[in-house]
Structure 1
Amino acid sequence: MTSETARPTVTTRATTPTHHFAMRFSSTPRGARLARRLAGQRFDAWGIPYDSDVHDALTLIVAELAANAVTHGRVPGRDFHLAVTLAPALATVRIDVTDTRTERVPAVAPPSDDRDSGRGLLLVECLATRWGWCPRTDGPGKTVWAEYAPALPVAG
């Protein structure tokens, strides 16, 4: 028998927690508005105040991705899913919007002067640090995601 004692295991944890919000919404204009509103409230609760440039940009990204899910990704009787994650240590917010339509691939199209719509992904591309899409892993559909890393640190 030895008299040595085992060294305690040291685990490192982030000093600020990662915040996460996720919810399903009906694939209707009302569902898209509710997604935008609840995400905006969540941003404020996480330390990104209303009427700040960061809050406005994030809320607009959520609004555009939710509107696209309702307009282009809608399958009757199926909801869309919004997930928002704030990683304060990285000062990054990730927004994921999942719908159940597989055949419509998101792409930025040049704006047309004779149409009032069709600029949503162009706005997302301009505001987000990066964005993209991937096939859904747990069923039919796709997830369109955007990441936003503001120049100033986000409060945790």
Structure 2
Amino acid sequence: MKRRILLVDDEVAVLLTLKAVLEISGFDVDTAASAREGKAKLRKFEYSMVITDMRMESEDAGVDVVKAARAAAYNPAIALLTAFPTDEDGWQYTGADKMLVKPMQTRILLQQIEKLLETHEAKKAKATGVVAVPVKAVRKSAPKKAASKRVGTTKPSPRK
């Protein structure tokens, strides 16, 4: 099953770029161009993670999205995305799990998202008493496909 992410940002270029990067990496991605649209989608759908810009239609629009995500029964991981980071720990008052500063290298962004999803899922599992198996462990332990036959590599039988 694909992990579903909601991206909330009022900059269309950022939305489209991040959406493409995440979809290429195997995520199912929804977008919202405002806090209002993001909150509506949070009520309508379930997400593994919400990534929201901090400043959109208002200075605290991102905080509104974080609060709506925290109120969701399905408990998604939440990351703030900002080009204007506050002090190192100041963002934590918002209720978000992580702050992502843009622009960021794609590889680093994906590593941070994967790590946040893993730690968030582990916390949820611990709270419910269910043992979570990391996605990477499942991929590594999956049986390997049998080698396919090569065409034209068999020797012809000797003629009599």
TM-score range, shorter chain: under 0.3
More strand by share: 1
More helix by share: 2
Q: Give the TM-score normalised by structure 2.
A: 0.25
Highest relative contact order (Cα 8 Å, sep 6+), 1 or 2?
1
Q: Give the TM-score normalised by structure 1.
A: 0.26
